[in-house]
Amino acid sequence: MSLKNKKILVTGALGFIGRTLLETLIEQDCGAELYGIDIKKFPENAEKLRSVHFENIDIRDEDKIKSYIRKNHFDGIVHLAAVSRVAVAEEDKKKCIDTNYKGTKYIAEAVSENPDSWMIFGSSREVYGEQEKFPVSEDAELLPLNIYGFYKLEGERIVRGNVKKHVILRFSNVYGNEYDIPERVIPKFTATALEGGELVLEGGEQIIDFTHIDDTVFAIIQCMSALEKNEIMQKTMHILPGIGRNITDIIDILRSNGLNFSVKRNAPRSYDVQKFIGDSKKCRDFLKGISFTDLETGIQKLIEIYQSKKRK
């Protein structure tokens, strides 16, 4: 790994992907000096992150975030801080705009002052909206259906316009460990099923390209290394297996693991994309050695994590 003695910042350091990324970099002894910022305060149980230089910073504060980046002269920034759920973005549009658009703008502008610094931006499959041709390639027309997707797309444009060395990664329904947001579909269904409760389907016909957190983090680290070695300067690609699964497959997998629960079906929500399957060729070609976790294995691992936590 070519990160030795580099100063790397992860925004959204206490979020699902950010925390998992930092823990993995530490476990792999990457050699970098790791920094993290988050709107949340550092938790007492985050023992694995004690070596990270942490600051409690809100990226919506332009003066504070720009001053912090200028002061530290980072070699690279992995920007993951965001309002990260479509439903939350729809409920609080101002928060989404201020965080996902303005916050990204402040960071990219600060990074642009150091031409040797690189940036990885965590985008989303939501930038595509509803498509007619599958699998969806990276150069498909971008037609975001909701405010979350729209401002992720604006974030991509800001990064391209300001940062010379960058990678834009379009994530797709990442899931897989205890740091995930409990309200997301897989952790919510899994936790509810373990309690024998009622799973609520919002429509129930959606077809989704689910991506395990371990594969997502593997991809980010490979891109970090490639940017440091100047193997890439500008790149946009999916991080996903390219396999569409019906949302009801989650229910079947949970039941196949011996869990008993009931299911309620509501009408579909207007802001939810009903079908997305991404083309994984670009990321598979670039990320040599990546082997995407199948949904059955990923959910089984998550069940074991939740059961282990409950026993403690």
Question: The whole model's pTM is what?
Answer: 0.96
Whole-angstrom distance, CA of residue 155 vs CA of residue 40: 22
Q: And the tokens for 24?
A: 């993995």
Note the pLDDT of residue 312. 63
* In-domain check, residue 148: yes
21 CB-near residues (< 8 Å, 6+ apart): 10, 78, 80, 217, 220, 221
Q: Is 203 within the bounds of a domain?
A: no
Quote the CA–CA distance of 215 and 229 in Å, as a whole number.
21
Is the separation of the CB atoms in 111 and 43 below 8 Å?
no
- Indicate whether 298 belongs to any domain: no
- CA angle, 66 as apex, 2 and 19 as ends, to 5°? 50
Q: SS in 3 state form for the chain? A: CCCCCCEEEEECCCCHHHHHHHHHHHHCCCCCEEEEEECCCCCCCCHHHCCCEEEECCCCCHHHHHHHHHHHCCCEEEECCCCCCHHHHHHCHHHHHHHHHHHHHHHHHHHHCCCCCEEEEEEEHHHHCCCCCCCECCCCCCCCCCHHHHHHHHHHHHHHHHCCEEEEEEECCEECCCCCCCCCHHHHHHHHHHCCCEEEEECCCCEECCEEHHHHHHHHHHHHHHHHCCCCCEEEEEECCCCCEECHHHHHHHHHCCCCCEEEEECCCCCCCCECCECCHHHHHHCCCCCCCCHHHHHHHHHHHHHHHHHC
pLDDT at 110: 98
Residue 308 lies in a domain: no
Q: How many domains does the chain have?
A: 1
pLDDT value of position 104: 98
Q: What CATH number is attached to the domain comprising 83? A: 3.40.50.720
Q: What is the mean pLDDT of each run of 10 residues along the chain (312 residues)?
A: 90 98 97 97 91 97 98 98 87 92 98 96 97 97 94 97 98 97 95 97 94 98 96 96 97 98 94 94 92 97 93 68
Asked whether 198 and 192 are in contact (CB, 8 A), the reply is yes
Q: Is residue 196 part of a domain?
A: no
Which one-letter amino acid corresponds to residue 196? Answer: G
Res 198: pLDDT = 97
The Cα 183–Cα 100 span in angstroms is: 20
Residue-number span of the structural domain to which 125 is assigned: 7-175+212-241+278-293
User: Is residue 80 in a domain?
Assistant: yes
| Residue 169 resides in a domain | yes
The token pair at 286 is: 């670039």
In order of 80, 91, 161, 170, the CA distances from 226 in angstroms are 18, 38, 21, 17
Residue type, position 13, single letter = A
Among 292, 200, 209, residue whose Cα is nearest residue 251: 200
- Considering the domain boundaries, does residue 205 fall inside one? no
Looking at residue 92, what is its pLDDT?
86
